[in-house]
Amino acid sequence: MSDRTLAGQYFDAAIGLLQRVRDEEADAITAAGTLLADTVAAGGRLFAFGAGHSSLAAQDLVYRAGGLALVNLLTVPGAVGVDVVPATLGSALERVDGLAAAVLDTSPLRAGDTLVIVSLSGRNALPVEMAMNARARGVRVVGVTSVAYATETSSRHASGTFLKDHCDLVLDSKIAVGDAELTLDTVPAPFAPASTVVTSALLQAVVATAAGVLADRGIEPPLLRSGNVDGGHEWNGRVFERYADRIFYRR
């Protein structure tokens, strides 16, 4: 089997997942986008969190050309991305009880804000406790996860629950357990993950919905422009000045 054929199979798998998410999660996407718009309109702040590779989709929402300027990254040292050495430490931190509460205690999140939590499996202590503790503080939570994990794996949290069980809204990425779309008889492990592609597209659809809802209400969405187009920096500077009290990644 040629590499080109495998590439085509991967694209077909990713496109199929995107179509499923588009069709099956349409109502949830609308609800999530409306929640973000409600938060912006009410003077609240927006935050996104993900651990490990799930952080990539969260980071894609922050300081993003064409994105909402008010989305701030909620960081957990050593758990966001794979920049920690050894990389396996990040996976271990996801299973530490009590870490989420300590992070929230020192974060700017407050009642009336909205937090997007991205976790493919939704089974580890960190995303579960992040959602539980955030909601206890009056923060609305949008969970982005693969619901399949809740029926095909066991929770790693003492409660036996998953991220999906502690959210105001859940967006199901439809990713199969194991996050690998391709197999070959000559390769001993499945390969070609699609969770980043699908989750990022899912969240950008939510942002697009939020922008449209705000515009329909006569509110200009606080969008950023690319700094690589003429006037982009000046545009962004005005947005930063107007919303300085709700943007934390510039401090």
127-168: per-residue pLDDT in tens? 999 999 999 999 999 999 999 999 999 999 989 999 999 999
Q: What is the pLDDT of residues 71-85, one digit of tens each?
A: 999 988 878 777 778
How many Cβ atoms are within 10 Å of 20's Cβ, its own excluded? Answer: 14
Task: Give pLDDT tens digits for 180-207.
Answer: 999 999 999 999 999 999 999 999 999 9
What is the CB-side half-sphere exposure of residue 10 using CA atoms within 13 A? 17
Tell me the torsion sign for CA atoms 236, 239, 241, 245: negative
User: 31: pLDDT confidence band, cut at 50, 70 and 90?
Assistant: very high
Range of weakest confidence among 33-42, 70-79, 155-164, 214-223 = 70-79
Q: To the nearest whole percent, how much of the chain has pLDDT over 90?
A: 86
Name the band, by pLDDT with cuts 50, 70 and 90, for residue 220.
very high
154 phi, psi to nearest 5 deg:
-105, 150
How much is the pLDDT for 1? 47
